[in-house]
Amino acid sequence: MSLINIKIEGIPYQVEEGLTILEAAKKCGYEIPHLCYFNHGECSQGSCRVCLVEVKGARGLVASCVYPVNDGMEISISSAEAVAARRRSVELLLSDHNQFCQACDKNGKCELLHVAIVTDARSGVFGGSHSEVHLDEIAPGLVRDTSKCILCGRCIERCKNAHGLGILGFENRGFNTFVSPADDRSFEDSPCIQCGQCVNVCPTGALMEHSEIDKVDHALRYGKKIVIAQAAPAVRAALGEEFGYKIGTPVTGKMIAAMRRLGFAKIYDVNFGADLTIMEEGTELLGRLKNGGVLPMITSCSPGWVNFAEYNYSDLLPHLSSCKSPHQMQGAILKSYWAKQHDVSPEDIFVVSVMPCTAKKYERQRDQLKVNGLSDVDAVITTRELARMIKRAGIMFDRLPDEDWDQDIMGDYTGAGVIFGVTGGVMEAALRTVYFKLTGKESDPIEFKEVRGHDAGIREASLDINGTTVNVAIASGMKSARVLLDDIRAGKSKYHFIEIMGCPGGCINGGGQPYVREFFLPNEDDDILDTYKEKRAQALYSEDERMTLRQSHKNPQVKELYDKFLGEPNSHKAHELLHTTYAAREGYNEIKLS
């Protein structure tokens, strides 16, 4: 890599060739305001005109996010003309922007407001028309409100990069342009998997999770039901970020303390459900191996992935494990076993799941997951929504004591459950138990590090367990998953067991997790966009290491549950409560009127 000489504000620097001005300036210590540019050029349309700088000899100002540096280039970021132009660009964006900022859930994390402050942009400078508003609040997982959209195209690129899907696109032309699924459909009436990756990259509040805070409020304040909360493993690895903790700081104890102060009657860890999932799924896998069942078996914990399969690979649905996802299983147990133990009716229990995920909001409404017409889970809030509730309640998170989960009936969990939150985690947890079932002893070392990772892409391993060869593969993000799925379709797959997660990196990078924006995180390293997934994953692996019980089959309360209630894994009762079915779905052809 050769170095070239450039000057910024007259000061000489040496930078690598091939960088854009924006990237080069960053290395020299300048943050040029920008909006449409994102994540090393994952999106850089050069369309927002917020990153304009002056380059000596160039015709007019140039968009620094797409303009490459060259030897001898003289750049001015703070020339009067560049400063005025950047301000004008932002003022033009503001002129057609919904400015009810105080009512916007993105407030505090809004990049448009950030650049407006940085560029000193004033609102109301330009009058004129407002473009027509397209509002989609029909889908359970996601909300699209084009009155806040700045047409940067990040969501479009993320959907393509993560999943090869491209659900969103620009429609119409000129001032009438808006971003939408084809035909201005709701996400619900398109083959969108509602994973929320688009929400994670949206610079404004145009794409958001479909909030269920109101529903939870109502249950807590006015309802007569027992409101029980359960939190997924990935939440503890990221919630702290909302309260100024460094990325990768596990905040399990404070999270529980905060939830208790919000008024939940009981607070349980979805890890119990994860352990239960391993017992069911591990048994299902061993059964398929022994009895010549459909192989490879594929995990079914991720509702984003299940949606994708139903839309795009419905011929492969028999490969999916029939297991419900952990929080659904746990909800079903709460409304059966727990209800019986506490002598309450299932109808009087309101289960709130705290999830790193927007697709879970869709999942909980699925008919296939109901038991006797009753949903396992009554509301799903994301990590971000939990943070909003904590802030709203005036709880000073960092001053909270570390508290523990409620311990009765389903308080125990193992390290195997914890690692569900990262790509490869379900696989590793399953292997720990499958190893035991096949050999009668625990694996040594306990870990199966070959399946670990923290990003999209495919990993594979071949394990010899007591003479049985088990070939496994892991993929996250639908783009990676397609490769494995196409092999199965072509009859070329050599695997017995595949873990697929919807979001690249798994739940730690779910669509409901805190936003990662380097300029809102002054205490993080410069490369935080490249390392946050690894850091969050590490938070989970370290919790696993601290646990004394690290295999699902060792969870004493799970054992008790089987002894007293379910019988054995995959029993008739277990199937009734903990397993589900799938069905092919048409993408654009069905408009659901509900």
Partner 1 sequence: MAKLNEAAVAQIEGICDRYKNEKTPLMMILSDIQNEYGYIPLEVQELVSKKTGISVAEIYGVVTFYSFFSLTPKGKYVIGCCLGTACYVKGAQIVIDRFSELLGITPGQTTKDGLFTLDALRCIGACGIAPAVSINGKVYPKVDVEEVEGIIESYKKEASA
Contact set with partner 1 (CB under 8 A): 156, 160, 165-173, 180-183, 190, 587-589
* CB closer to partner 1, 140 vs 181: 181
Describe the chain by its helix, strand, coil percentages, rounded to 5. Answer: 40, 15, 40
Distance in Å, CB of 191 to partner 1, minimum: 8
Characterise 10 by phi-psi region: left (phi > 0), alpha (psi -120 to 50), beta (else). Answer: left
Distance in Å, CB of 102 to partner 1, minimum: 32
* CB closer to partner 1, 105 vs 487: 487
Q: CA–CA separation, 320 vs 149, rounded Å?
A: 37
Single-letter amino acid code for the residue at 68: P
Distance in Å, CB of 177 to partner 1, minimum: 9
* CB closer to partner 1, 170 vs 175: 170
Pair 483, 458: CB distance under 8 Å: yes
* CB closer to partner 1, 192 vs 409: 192
Distance in Å, CB of 174 to partner 1, minimum: 9
* CB closer to partner 1, 170 vs 519: 170
Distance in Å, CB of 155 to partner 1, minimum: 11
* CB closer to partner 1, 206 vs 451: 206
Which residues have C-beta within 8 Å of that of residue 187, sequence separation ≥ 6? 136, 138, 139, 141, 142, 144, 167, 181, 194
* CB closer to partner 1, 182 vs 465: 182
* CB closer to partner 1, 157 vs 363: 157
SS3 assignment, position 224: coil
Distance in Å, CB of 581 to partner 1, minimum: 23
Closest CA to 514 of 397, 393, 327, 382: 382
Q: Is 40 exposed, middle or buried (0-12, 13-18, 19+ CB in 10 A)?
A: exposed
Distance in Å, CB of 40 to partner 1, minimum: 22
Pair 592, 188: CB distance under 8 Å: yes
Q: CA–CA separation, 135 vs 124, rounded Å?
A: 23
Distance in Å, CB of 170 to partner 1, minimum: 5
Place of tokens 């999830």: 355
Q: Please give the DSSP secondary-structure letter assigned to residue 323.
A: B
Distance in Å, CB of 190 to partner 1, minimum: 8
Q: Please give the DSSP secondary-structure letter assigned to residue 246.
A: P
- The DSSP code sequence of 340-400 is HHTT--GGGEEEEEEES-SHHHHHTT-GGG-BTTB-S-SEEEEHHHHHHHHHHTT--GGGP
Straight-line distance from the first to the last Cα atom of the chain, in angstroms, rounded to the nearest whole number: 58
* CB closer to partner 1, 169 vs 253: 169
Distance in Å, CB of 216 to partner 1, minimum: 33
Q: Is 290 exposed, middle or buried (0-12, 13-18, 19+ CB in 10 A)?
A: exposed
* CB closer to partner 1, 190 vs 325: 190
The pairing of strands 3-8 and 497-501 is unpaired
Q: CA–CA separation, 103 vs 86, rounded Å?
A: 26
Q: CA–CA separation, 106 vs 147, rounded Å?
A: 13
Distance in Å, CB of 302 to partner 1, minimum: 22
Distance in Å, CB of 592 to partner 1, minimum: 16
Distance in Å, CB of 163 to partner 1, minimum: 10
* CB closer to partner 1, 160 vs 261: 160
Q: Which helix (H) or strand (E) holds 220?
A: helix 213-221
Pair 177, 171: CB distance under 8 Å: yes
* CB closer to partner 1, 185 vs 496: 185
Structure tokens, 77: 């970021």
Which residues have C-beta within 8 Å of that of residue 211, sequence separation ≥ 6? 105, 143, 381, 385
Structure tokens, 70: 């060259």
Task: Please tell me whether the peptide bond between 445 and the residue prior to it is cis, using omega within 30 degrees of 0.
Answer: yes
Full 3-state SS string of 392-417: HCCCCHHHCCCCCCCCCCCCCCCHHH
Residue environment code for 319-329, b if the CB has 16+ CB neighbours within 10 A, otherwise e: bbbbbbbbbbb
Distance in Å, CB of 583 to partner 1, minimum: 16
* CB closer to partner 1, 191 vs 233: 191
* CB closer to partner 1, 195 vs 419: 195
